[in-house]
Each structure stands twice: as C-alpha cells, then as structure tokens.
Amino acid sequence: MIPANVSLMIFAAGFGTRMGDLTKETPKPMLSLRGQPMIDHSLKIAKSAGLETILANTHHLHANIAPHLKSHGVEVLHETPNILDTGGGLKAARNRLTSPTLTLNPDCDWTGPNPLTHLLNHWQDDMQALLLLVPIGRAENRSPPGDFTLSGTQLKRGGNMIYTGAQLVRTGRLDAIKDRVFSLNAYWDHLATSGDLHGTIYPGHWADIGTKQSLIRANEAPDV
C-alpha cells in the first residue's frame, strides 16, 4: 500500500571532500549538474512524485545553500556545531517527518522512471526499510564490491547490488542506535538482523556523481 502524504528528507549536509576544490566555497548539492544545482534535480524528482513536505539537513557552508532551499519551500535543519551523519541526521529530523519517510542523496543522476515513485509503488505495510538498488553492472561510476545481496525483497550485506541513495524507511526503531552521530549503515544492519531490510531494483539508469571527475563527465555527456 502506498503511504499517504509521505515526506522526503534530502541529505545535504556533507563536506563534499571527494569534489576537491569545487566545494571550498560551494556546498556539493549546489554544484552545477547540466546547468542547474544538483539539489534542484532532487527537488524536481520530489515535485514530480507529488511530494509536498520536504526537509533538508545542512552543515557545510550552510549559509550558501539554506536560502536556496527555503526559496523552494524546503524546511532546513541546520546541524550545528557537529554534523550528524546520515543516520543521526534522520534521527534528529524524524519529529518533522512522516514514518515511513523517503530519503534522497542529491549527488546522483537518474534517467528513467521517478525513483521516489518507484519506491512508493513497491512499499509493503510490513516493511521497515525499502532501499532502491541497481546491479553493479549498471551502476555508473561505481566499482565492485557491491553493497547488498537481494533475495526476493530481502537484503543482506555483500553481493552485487549498489544502494542508489534513495529509500523509504520507518523511523520508529532509530532509538535502537544509541549514538547521536551515526551512519544509516548502522540502522540498516540493525534492521537486517531481524529480516526487516528490503530492496527493490531501479529499472532506469543511475550514476554516482560524488566525485569531481564524475561530475565533469556528467556535464560533458550529451543530453539524453
């Protein structure tokens, strides 16, 4: 069943260290991808999926991204003085989000069906987390090993599936992770121990745009 009025959290707080000098003065989500900030591609995906409640966390160069987000109706959660990582960021924001909620990394390039709509259409009520995946052979700018093995819809660590940076996840069990700063990987491992970590394969093309070289290639590629 598709959750009603689901929210979205965009992870926009990272330092962008793999971008080198490009992120000295510009937050990674504000770097240009085919003529517009990466974050705008994420917002376009969200709007196309019919989402109305959108939150983004910020930290690195907060002042250089927060006004842009707010101008698009995005609620901004400034992580200060310390960055909380993806799991800690989601935990800090959960009272402002639905459960389940969608989450999205902005440093990805999608060609094909709307990834958030795909997650919503494949959600089942008994799931705790549904991760969007691509086989390693279709993951541009990623090399083996993969992140997960997919059996039916259940996920286990290792294998040939790559996490794309999009998921639909319940937040009610985040308290099982006692740390304030932690990666979503810790939460996924917790869910996997009880068989509650699930996945679905994205049928379109996906590229990781997390490095300077991958961004340059994406901007030099012909429009599809």
In this structure, what CATH number is given to the domain that contains residue 111?
Answer: 3.90.550.10
Domains: count for the chain: 1
Backbone φ, ψ for residue 86 (5° rounding): -65, -45
Residue 224 has pLDDT above 60, yes or no: no
pLDDT grade for 2, boundaries at 50, 70 and 90: confident
Model-level pTM greater than 0.85?
Answer: yes
For residue 193, pLDDT over 90 is answered with yes
Residue 179 lies in a domain: yes
Instruction: Answer whether residue 114 is part of any domain.
Output: yes
In a domain, 79, yes or no: yes
Distances from the Cα of 103 to the Cαs of 33, 49, 75, 143, in angstroms?
A: 20, 13, 14, 23
Is residue 78 in some structural domain? yes
- Mean pLDDT of the region 178-195: 97
Give the whole-angstrom CA distance, residue 169 versus residue 161.
Answer: 18
Maximum separation of any 2 CA atoms in the chain, in Å: 46
Indicate whether 2 belongs to any domain.
no
Q: Does a structural domain hold residue 190?
A: yes
Q: What is the pLDDT of residue 4?
A: 76
* Closest listed residue to residue 56, CA positions, set 109, 92, 20: 92
Interval 108-164: pLDDT, tens: 999 999 999 999 999 999 999 999 999 999 999 998 999 999 999 999 999 999 999
Would you say residue 28 lies in a domain?
A: yes
Average pLDDT, the chain: 96
**95-110 pLDDT, tens digit each:** 999 999 999 999 999 9
Q: How far, in Å, CA of 33 to CA of 29, rounded? A: 9
> Residue 3 domain-assigned?
no
Residue 221 has a pLDDT of: 80
> Rounded to an integer, what is the distance from CA 91 to the centroid of its chain?
15
Enter the DSSP assignment of 159. S
Query: For residues 219 and 41, what is the distance between their CA atoms, to the nearest angstrom?
Result: 13
CA–CA gap between residue 16 and residue 155 (Å, rounded): 28
At 195, list the tokens: 């068989």
Enclosing domain of residue 33: 8-219
H/E segment holding residue 157: strand 154-157
Find out whether 105 and 90 touch, Cβ atoms under 8 Å.
Answer: no
pLDDT in tens, 45-63: 999 999 999 999 999 999 9
Cβ atoms of 189 and 202 closer than 8 Å: no
